[in-house]
Chains A and B, each alone.
Chain A
Amino acid sequence: MRAQNRIGAYQLYALFAVSLLSTVFMTANAETPEAGAAETLLFFLPFTGICAVTALPLLLRRRNKYEIGTVAGAWAEISPRLERPVSAAYAAVFLWAAALAGARFVLFLQSQIFRGDGAAGLLPLLFAAAGFAASRELESLGRTAVLFGVATGAATLLLAVAALPDFDASLLPPIWDAAPASVLTCGLEAAVRAPEILTLAVFAPEVAGRIRRGYGVWLACAALLLPVVFLIPAGVTGTFGAIRGYRFYALAGTVKLGQLERAEDALCATWILCAFLKVAFFLLAAHRSICASFSFKRKFLLYYILSASACAAAFVLVRSPSAFEAATGLAPGLSLLFLFAVALPILPAAVKIAARRKKWRRRSP
């Protein structure tokens, strides 16, 4: 019998995909470096490789190394004083990520649909709903992610199909050389700018099921969908990397679905599902990291506090877009990712291995 609160590999990948989709759709591409894309790619590829190399074996072996509580626990083994600070740091990072995700969505709405500050009112609604969803635990979020992934994927494909009449293949050749590099760069940048990739590693111990197959399916879907999603806007607009603003939203604005005059609002509305789930996911992660090391019994009160804190942070970010730009810059994103997805989980293990070797050398004649 499967233990409660464990999710299948498909569900984990759906959660990851939904988090990434949310970031990809709502990330403005204004500053995507068209020139120097190859150099950026060269920088990203080894980095992603490191992430994959560290995350995949853990997934395959179901080793309990990356769980937030366990990371803190691993640090506690080295020094008991470190457990709580590590847990608190993880909770703070997840709260920050939740705030960024919420702020990104509202900034997107403000700049494209509501044209003003009205969208900020959506933040309490989003965080209240996300807090409630997070209280339903990981398993239900994973199941929901599969449904949302299908819904968002279908909406995106519908958008791509509806845009096909406007697709002009002759627009592709001039940008063809830069396109593959840009596709990867944009995708990876979107992934790195918020620490979404943490989701894959943090919940690895919770996974049960056919991990290899799930990983294969996830890679296949990404490989098949990404070119469609990236090349169709290029073929329709003719300017792949130089669109200022939100590329997918701009594409949705050119599409006419049947009798509907403008489809972008309806299509974008499906993206809120991804943002909502991502925020819920981060709130759940923050909740767990607190509960792992601090004895906090009142579950709903803690969710309320976490949701309110993340909402307040998101509100500050929305009110000062310069702070948002600074927070979501490449350097902070990379630093956070490196620190929390790679360094903090691996260091205690490295220290332990070093200590064991030292011990072994002392014993050996």
Chain B
Amino acid sequence: METPRFTGEPRRDAAMLKKRLGGSADVIFREMLINGAPAAGLYLDGMCDEMRILRAVTGPLTNKNTFTEDGRTAEQIRLFAYKGADMKETDDPEEAAALVTAGHFALLLPGLAGAFLFGAQGYPRMGVEEAKSEQNELGGREGFTDTLKDNLALLRRKLRTPDLAIEQITVGRTCPAAVALCYLPKKTDPGVLEKVRLKLTRCGAETALGSGWLRPFLNGRRPALFPATGVTERPDVLAYKLSVGRIGVLVDGSPFAIIVPYLFTDSFHAPDDYATGTVYAGFVRLLRALCFLTAVALPGLFVAVCDFHPNMLPSDVMFKIASAEAQTPFPLALEAVTIHLIYEAVREAGLRMPKAAGHTVSIVGALVIGDAAVKAGLIAAPMLIIVALTTVCSAVVSNLQDRTVLLRLLLIAAGSAAGFFGVFLGLGLIAVEICAVSPYGVPLSAPLSPYEKKGFGNGLFRRRMQLLARERRTLREEEF
């Protein structure tokens, strides 16, 4: 089939573009006289700001005084007539159609085998709001939005340096999206940058509706429990990460920026750490790491102690636990798995349901699980305490919560099969899995193993601001 080309006849070209856009009902076609010649304009209803088109494009161009000489309209538009920043010219109908779907106004002139595309986006979008998934107390409040342009502006505001480089590419075949690669060339490892660039351009993703759709392609070939990339909803966090040599990937349609490469210890960091004292921030980071361990291993350890090593606990404590457990009909491991599954179901229902109903679900869940099940003798109170503690701890490290759930179930099974030895075997496997992730040459387990002196100080703890300011630390592949 022959590829359609621009002919230089505005009506015909507009019809061809409309056909390329599937003959959609929301394609608006306008005819106008520009410099005395009939021209055509085309845009998508709802995607463009009509006032902006009128004010910045059609208004000046249909004004006779805009052009100084007859003919050569296209040259005059290129050179003098239109001073708007976002103007492109293409002779490729595919590119023209893609830009129209992105909210551009296409102008077709007689005798021009191509089209002018003016950025006049006016589609409905969300404004800048507080980052919901990364709350903080003392730092900035702004979070990314769904629009790439706004996100880049937010990043620029935080990182006001001419060194910031932004590369834009389009990813996705059926449902393409604009993707921006942000980095500081002086800080970023060129090898890592090239790898990220290649992974994005060659990923062959069918759909790119948000950062979640592209993240698996950046994580590496092998399916891993712990990803090699992280996400953030906050421009200040991304700005900081870029300043220490990481690469940010912003995807149009998603308020979450992908950070590459990512370290496991980054999961225990929060923006507030840099707004509080060094000692307290270090303590809180360590606490988060401890909470992660507790959230993963506590139920498994509890099952292991009760089933295999009861002589470890003081006898009065053991007696209380044993008497409570004796009243329940289920084995301890089954009890633990059941409560966790119920809790996850309640959490999922609370998350997905409308807010009003979500509260009801929470109340019902709390009453049924917390009170009625214990009173009925189906679940023992000590197990409920363990689950509650685990839940609180897993909420502390929210960006690892999905993994925590799976690992917890694995360790409960291991603890019920082989006691402490099973739990530690499971923990060993988790450690190997974390240490195995290194698609960008920077191991996920750094700076703990391989030990990196400078990174260690600001990994599990927080270094003094004076030292951080002096260090100019970046992540380079050859260091590991």
Interfacial residues, chain A to chain B (CB-CB below 8 A)? 1-2, 8, 10-11, 109, 121-122, 125-126, 129, 132-133, 136-137, 139-141, 143-144, 146-148, 259-263, 265-266, 268-270, 272-273, 276-277, 280
- Expressed in whole angstroms, the Cα–Cα distance for A125 and B425 within the complex equals 8
Asked whether B436 is an interface residue with its Cβ less than 8 Å from the other chain, the reply is: yes
Are A265 and B428 in contact, with the CB atoms below 8 A?
Answer: no
CB-CB under 8 A from A121, the residues of chain B are 417-418
CB-CB < 8 A to B424: which residues of A?
269-270, 272-273
Shortest C-beta distance, A129 to chain B (Å), equals 5
Would B312 and A263 count as touching, CB distance under 8 A? yes
Known contacts A2-B478, A146-B449, A272-B421: A141-B432 contact under CB 8 Å:
yes
- B431 CB within 8 Å of chain A: yes
The interface residues of chain A lying within 8 Å CB-to-CB of B414 are: 125
Nearest CB of A to B224, in Å:
10
Enumerate 7 A-B pairs (CB-CB under 8 Å) in ascending A order.
A1-B477, A125-B414, A133-B432, A143-B445, A147-B435, A272-B425, A273-B428
- Which B residues have a C-beta under 8 Å from some C-beta of A? 191, 308-309, 311-315, 414, 417-429, 431-433, 435-436, 438, 441, 443, 445, 448-451, 477-478, 480
Q: A129 near B443 (CB under 8 angstroms)?
A: no
Known: A143-B449, A146-B450; 16 extra A-B contacts, CB below 8 A, are A1-B478, A2-B478, A125-B418, A126-B425, A129-B429, A136-B433, A140-B432, A140-B438, A143-B445, A147-B445, A261-B315, A265-B308, A269-B420, A272-B428, A273-B424, A280-B432
The verdict on A8 contacting B431 (CB below 8 Å), with A122-B421, A139-B438, A272-B425 known, is no
Q: How far is the CA of A269 from the CA of B478 in the complex (A)?
A: 36
Asked if A277 meets B428 with Cβ closer than 8 Å, knowing A143-B435, A261-B313, the reply is yes
Complex contact A2–B480 (CB within 8 A)? yes
Which chain A positions have C-beta within 8 A of B419?
Answer: 265, 269
Which of A147, A266, A273 meets B312, CB within 8 Å? Answer: A266
Q: How far is the CA of A269 from the CA of B427 in the complex (A)?
A: 11
Task: Tell whether A147 pairs with B449 under 8 Å between CB atoms, given A1-B191, A133-B432.
Answer: yes
Is chain A's interface secondary structure helix, strand, loop, or mixed overall? helix
Chain A min CB distance to B333 (Å):
15
| Chain B interface SS verdict (over half) | helix
Given contacts A144-B431, A147-B449, contact A265 B309 (CB under 8 A): yes
Q: B312 — which chain A residues lie within 8 A by C-beta?
A: 260-263, 265-266
Which of A10, A125, A126, A137 meets B450, CB within 8 Å? A10
Minimal beta-carbon separation of B460 from chain A (angstroms): 12
Measured CA separation A129–B425 after assembly (Å): 7
Question: Which residues of chain B come closer than 8 Å to A143, judged between CB atoms?
Answer: 435, 443, 445, 449-450
By a CB distance below 8 angstroms, the chain A residues around B191 are: 1
Tell me the bound Cα distance from A132 to B225 in angstroms.
13
Measured between beta carbons, the chain B residues less than 8 angstroms from A10 are 450-451
CB-CB under 8 A from B313, the residues of chain A are 260-261
- In the complex, residue of chain B having the shortest beta-carbon distance to the beta carbon of A133: B432
Q: Is the CB of B450 within 8 A of A8?
A: yes
Looking at the complex, which one of B315, B417, B443 makes contact with A125 (CB distance below 8 Å)? Answer: B417
Within the assembled complex, what's the spacing in Å between the Cα atoms of A277 and B450? Answer: 17
Report the minimal beta-carbon distance from B440 to chain A, rounded to whole angstroms. 11
Contact A276 B428 (CB under 8 A): yes
With both chains docked as a complex, state the minimum distance between the C-beta of B359 and any C-beta of chain A, in angstroms. 40
Q: Shortest CB–CB separation between residue B279 and chain A, in angstroms?
A: 22
In the complex, chain A residues whose CB is within 8 Å of the CB of B427: 273
Which has the most chain A C-beta neighbours within 10 Å: B421, B423, B433, B441? B421
A2-B480, A10-B450 as given contacts; A147 in contact with B431, CB under 8 Å: yes
Q: Which of B423, B426, B432, B441 has the most A CB atoms < 10 Å from its CB?
A: B432
Is the Cβ of A137 less than 8 Å from the Cβ of B445?
no
Q: Which 4 A-B pairs have the closest CB atoms?
A: A140-B436, A269-B420, A143-B435, A136-B436
Complex formed: what's the CA distance from A109 to B418 in Å? 11
| A147 CB contacts on chain B under 8 angstroms | 431, 435, 445, 448-449
Which residues of B sit under 8 angstroms from A262, Cβ to Cβ?
A: 309, 311-312
Q: Which residues of B contact A126 (CB under 8 A)?
A: 425
Asked if A265 meets B435 with Cβ closer than 8 Å, knowing A8-B450, A133-B428, A146-B450, the reply is: no
| Contact B428–A148 (Cβ < 8 Å) | yes
Is A269 a contact partner of B428 (Cβ separation < 8 A)?
no
B450 touches A148 (CB 8 A): no
**A140: nearest residue on chain B (CB-CB)?**
B436
Evaluate contact between A144 and B418: CB separation under 8 angstroms.
no
Bound form: Cα–Cα A273–B425 in Å: 6
CA distance A136 to B436 in the complex (A): 6
Whether the pair B429, A132 counts as a contact (CB closer than 8 A) is: yes
The answer to whether B423 touches A133 (Cβ under 8 A) is no
Q: How far is the CB of B131 from chain A (nearest CB, A)?
A: 32
Do A261 and B429 touch across chains, with their CB atoms under 8 A apart? no
Report the separation of the CA atoms of residues A61 and B308 in the bound assembly, to the nearest whole angstrom.
50
Chain A's nearest CB lies how many Å from the CB of B452? 11
Which of B417, B423, B428, B441 is A144 in contact with, Cβ under 8 Å? Answer: B428
Tell me the complex Cα distance, A327–B445, Å: 38
B449 CB contacts on chain A under 8 angstroms: 11, 143-144, 146-147
Contact A125 B422 (CB under 8 A): yes
CB-CB nearest in chain B for A11: B450
B478 to chain A, nearest CB (A): 6
Known: A10-B450, A143-B443. A261 touches B311 (CB 8 A): yes
Q: How far is the CA of A132 from the CA of B441 in the complex (A)?
A: 22
Give the chain A neighbours of B433 by CB distance below 8 A: 136
A338 to B57, CA, bound (A): 86
In contact, A144 and B450 (Cβ under 8 angstroms): no
Q: How far is the CB of A334 from chain B (nearest CB, A)?
A: 30
